[in-house]
Structure 1
Amino acid sequence: MAKNKTIATEVDVLAFIDSYVGEEQKKADSYQLIALMRDWTGFEPKMWGPSIIGFGSYHYHYASGHEGDMPLLAFSPRKAAFSLYVYSPTEASKPLLEDLGKFKMGKSCIYVKKLSDIHIPVLEKMGKATIAYLNENKECGCREL
């Protein structure tokens, strides 16, 4: 079975942002996301893999035997857009997408160009719903329900 590439590292989060993120607005948004996710989760940021900033963690174990650890909430300040790992497609979360703002949906993340494109209180509700889902189900919310 393949090993997970996304594992917690000891890389300094702020040093990563300063060296990886070139645009000042994206840096400011990254620092804002750190403050928000720290508040929502109660955990300090930690690097997961080479470019994901995660908060907290949970251990998952699938029927296939695959298991590992992942952050409860996370984001990556990628060049084209932020990848926000804050969403589980639960019945409570699905309607929140209508009020989120301007974004694109991936399989396991939400892509946004800048934070001013979305409604932060809606993002908070999504993140907290995802934390509740993960604490209850111990599996990625990206799996089909």
Structure 2
Amino acid sequence: MNENLTRPTEILAEDFLAAVQHPVRRADGLVLAKMMGRVTERRPVMWGPTMVGFGTYRYTTGSGRRGEYFVVGFSPRKASLSLYGLTSAPGSDALVEQLGKHKRGAGCLYVNTLADVDVAIVEQLVSLNYSYILGNLGS
């Protein structure tokens, strides 16, 4: 079976975030890391070269492929902040509607800056989805 290419790395999330060139992305990343760490009670872990994740769960796909992935996380990408793991739990859609300016991807939310959204709603989404995913898939 194919191995998941996105895996935890030895890179420190703090070092990655400190090196983000765009000052707003760097600042937003630091805010997200602090908030997600507080809510999940987990330290940030780098998954691949650009994704900061919190907590882990094991999954099995319909085809039988197994893997491990972070529960919630983000990436301060050039074009936008990508927020991962915030749309799975029942009740997420209602909160996302209150979020503010964002775009929705297949498994993530894209926001230009945290100033464009209600950070309290982001925090609620992190808490709701973290608990839901661990309660249903957690390891």
Give the TM-score normalised by the residue count of structure 2.
0.92
* CA–CA separation in structure 1 for the residues paired with 2:121 and 2:70: 20
Gaps of 5+ in 2: none
Contact 1:88/1:133, CA 8 A, preserved across alignment: no
Overall identity of the aligned pairs, in %: 36
1:94 is matched with which residue?
Answer: 93
Alignment of 1:59 with 2:58, yes or no, is yes
1:14 is matched with which residue?
Answer: 14
Contact 1:53/1:76, CA 8 A, preserved across alignment: yes
Alignment of 1:110 with 2:109, yes or no, is yes
Contact 2:89/2:133, CA 8 A, preserved across alignment: no
Contact 1:88/1:129, CA 8 A, preserved across alignment: no
* Deviation for aligned residue 1:15: 1.8
Instruction: Kindly report the root-mean-square deviation, in angstroms, between the aligned alpha carbons of the 2 structures.
Output: 1.5
* CA–CA separation in structure 1 for the residues paired with 2:125 and 2:2: 30
Query: Hey, which bits of structure 1, 4+ residues long, moved more than 3 A?
Result: none
Deviation string 1:19-77 (CA, Å, 9 cap, x unpaired) is: 3x211121111110110000110000110011100111111123421111111111001
* CA–CA separation in structure 1 for the residues paired with 2:15 and 2:94: 37
Corresponding residue SS for 2:74: strand
Contact 2:88/2:133, CA 8 A, preserved across alignment: no
Counterpart amino acid of residue 96 in structure 2: L
Q: Which moved more, 1:124-133 or 1:73-82?
A: 124-133
Corresponding residue SS for 1:57: strand
* Deviation for aligned residue 1:90: 3.8
2:76 is matched with which residue?
Answer: 77
Contact 1:84/1:109, CA 8 A, preserved across alignment: yes
Count how many residue pairs are aligned between Structure 1 and Structure 2: 138
* CA–CA separation in structure 2 for the residues paired with 1:130 and 1:50: 24
* CA–CA separation in structure 1 for the residues paired with 2:12 and 2:123: 25
Contact 1:58/1:71, CA 8 A, preserved across alignment: yes
Counterpart amino acid of residue 28 in structure 1: A
